[in-house]
Amino acid sequence: MKSFSEPSVRNALTIDVEDYFQVSALAPHFPKDVWDNTPCRVERNVQRILELLQEEGARATFFTLGWIAERYPKLIRQITAEGHELASHGYGHERASAQTPEAFLADIKLAKVVLEDIASCQVSGYRAPSFSIGQSNPWAHACIEEAGYSYSSSVYPVKHDHYGVPDAPRFPYVVGRGLIEIPISTVRGFGRNWPVGGGGYFRLLPYSVSSWGIRKVNETDGKPAIFYFHPWEIDPGQPVVSQASAKTRFRHYVNLSRTEARLQRLLRDFAWGRMDEVFLPLAKPTV
């Protein structure tokens, strides 16, 4: 049950399905040739997320790596069987900005084929690893459209040292011939956009910051919000990479033990649905 009267706006809940050793910031410590020999924790973490969603009657979109799907096909089929949307996070968690257009297109096509073959359903959405579509690679949206996706959620309209397009539209807009880009949620203040769409900000800042921001998007802007997190963010027992920089360790490990309880509160405080159900039927994007 919700902790207060039923919210009037349904927001989109999204999960970027990757394991702890596939995070971009830890890439120097986990090259791809060691992935197959690194113990995975993603299956148990996604199972727990599915339990949380079922407890609260919420549905979500799982942006999933093709690499993960190939190794855990039963988990992928469970996601769709329980009514959630399966979407693409690419195949091998390569940043779009680090690839050539040809390599990027091949990666997102492969991911789509793998996911659709395993789950026997259409995959309409794509999210670039680390929100790596920006001013340096505007060609990426054309590749996403060519690969057959209907929407992308790959732009974060904030200023960040690893990603972000601060002057991008805050709400859905058309790119190319008809692909819809659905940016992660922000609030506007003091002449800039501030992140309220989850990720590390949800763990590092008090819960009240995220809940205030989501309500502001819902009530002031009159729009659905988008929230995202990763399965490893509810896993305080994951191995600690002591060789990582202090900045990386802070961003990755702080408050892992608190995230699950915060997610439970978030699920109760707001109404949540899938990306395709929340945005595509009602989308009135700007160009």
| Whole-number Å distance between alpha carbons of 264 and 113 | 33
The strand ranges marked E within the chain are 10-17, 61-64, 85-88, 125-126, 151-152, 173-175, 179-181, 186-189, 192-195, 226-229, 271-273
Encode pLDDT of 37-50 as tens digits.
999 999 999 999 99
* Residue 166 confidence class, pLDDT cut points 50, 70, 90: confident
Encode pLDDT of 44-84 as tens digits.
999 999 999 999 999 999 999 999 999 999 999 999 999 99
- Map out the domains of the chain as residue ranges: 10-278
* Residue 191 confidence class, pLDDT cut points 50, 70, 90: confident
Encode pLDDT of 234-264 as tens digits.
999 999 999 999 999 998 999 999 999 999 9
Which CATH architecture describes the domain 10-278? Alpha-Beta Barrel (3.20)
| Whole-number Å distance between alpha carbons of 22 and 172 | 28
What pLDDT, on the 0 to 100 scale, is given for residue 168?
Answer: 87
What pLDDT, on the 0 to 100 scale, is given for residue 283?
Answer: 57
Nearest one of 174, 172, 187 to 282, comparing CA atoms: 172
